[in-house]
Structure 1
């Protein structure tokens, strides 16, 4: 599912919406399980470049498909330049880079869990299932749950330049009743 660009948050008082932080990153679909696969938005295999994430997907302990943003932290902020540098490494160089600047997955969607396909479920149900997965598996780094709020004022605060300096490039606006529509802008 892809985002459609808008210039402002919807006016208050309309239908209930959910807001999520949009990070400066690479998009990745994570196929977790015994044979993990990390796929870029264009279909490339990211596992050789980010071996620590492939290991985390293998160690999840359950088969799942997650939609996430792949990020690298540096000096208290998300660092897109460091992410691009990491993306050029393979083999032993990728392993060294994983130790020096580990990547993380900011997960915002659970698409399948243990064979149960969730894409037709409304976002609010998929989010509950995602939060349950994080709690049940006690997920921590390199896993991160994408911040989400119903509060428009919190979403407006995320647009502050201070958040931009930290690597948050915007706000995603989502309908809690919408299914996940692969390849569709919404």
Structure 2
């Protein structure tokens, strides 16, 4: 009987970065969640939502020659570029097939960072506690002497190590995942905890979605070091009170707006475009962001709007490096 990959186990956010007793921490990678199985010579590689990823990542499929039949991993697909995780490169890889996927595998190879072992020597081990699965996962890497594209995700019960990981935002690490040592792998359950460092910073409002009298979201900008106004991210949906306080501070742009004729995607991986209204880029706001950014300095995840900063001018906002 052919074994089928289960649904991935999931996490819920936590506001606490500390590592309690009985819990292990792992770095949270800025990549693409994936589950992989080798069963009777058949390779299965799929995303969290069940998308077949084999055609997009031929180097990972061919790398399964290093694995013993009856092995299944849970992990993260990542692409490294110039010393950091490059999610935008990974995003481009998802769209490639055939010869273009083979070319991309040579130019921007992906790694599979394994953080859990679901099957060992043909046996389903999801009922094992995390600490036992972790030991087995380490044994697979050492016994098989796994090399690229396989990477073993670190794990620790040392708070000092976790604290160091939380400083790795510059290389694309998003935070830490916490897992209970005695807990089995529970498909589809939100049994893990996820901590993401957040910071407060400033950005310029360059456009909005929704009506000018009641903006729904804000498209944010920063000048680059060449003086050009670059898009850096979009806020979550504004609360009614925030929308009402911002509206009087906005002015519809003149034809000389730097973003005239630009289009904006509705989200990462989406082909839908936003219906936006360009506004004069003179309003600065305080925002809350996490550490996930692309190589152009854009925030990958939605931004939380805190408050307008009429005391600041666009010249006071931190600049980014040109694309």
Q: Shorter-chain TM-score category?
A: over 0.9
Q: Structure 1 CA distance, aligned partners of 2:96 and 2:113? A: 21
Structure 2 residue runs without a partner (length 5+): 1-8, 192-323
8 Å CA contact retained: 1:36, 1:58: no
After superposition, the C-alpha distances for 1:33-77 in whole angstroms (9 at most, x for unaligned) are 421110110101100000110111244233211101000010111
CA distance in 2, matches of 1:178, 1:156: 23
Q: Deviations over 1:64-99 (max 9, x none)?
A: 111010000101111101000111100100000000
Gaps of 5+ in 1: none
Q: Give the total of aligned pairs.
A: 182
Distance 1:119 1:36 in 2: 19
CA-atom RMSD in angstroms: 1.2
Cα separation, 2, equivalents of 1:19 and 1:126: 14
Q: What is aligned with 1:153?
A: 160
Greater relative CO (CA pairs within 8 A, separation 6+): 1
TM-superposed deviation, 1:6: 0.8
Runs of 4+ in 1 over 6 A off after TM superposition: none
Q: From the two aligned structures, give the one with the greater helix fraction.
A: 1
Of residues 9, 12, 21, the one that matches 1:15 is: 21
Instruction: Select which of 19, 22, 25 maps to 2:31.
Output: 25
> If the length of structure 2 is used for normalisation, what is the TM-score?
0.55
Measured in 1, the distance between the counterparts of 2:22 and 2:66 equals: 36
Equivalent in the alignment of 1:57: 64
- What pairs up with 1:1-186 in 2 under 5 angstroms? 1-10=9-18, 14-33=20-39, 34-160=41-167, 163-186=168-191
User: How does the TM-score come out when normalised to structure 1?
Assistant: 0.94
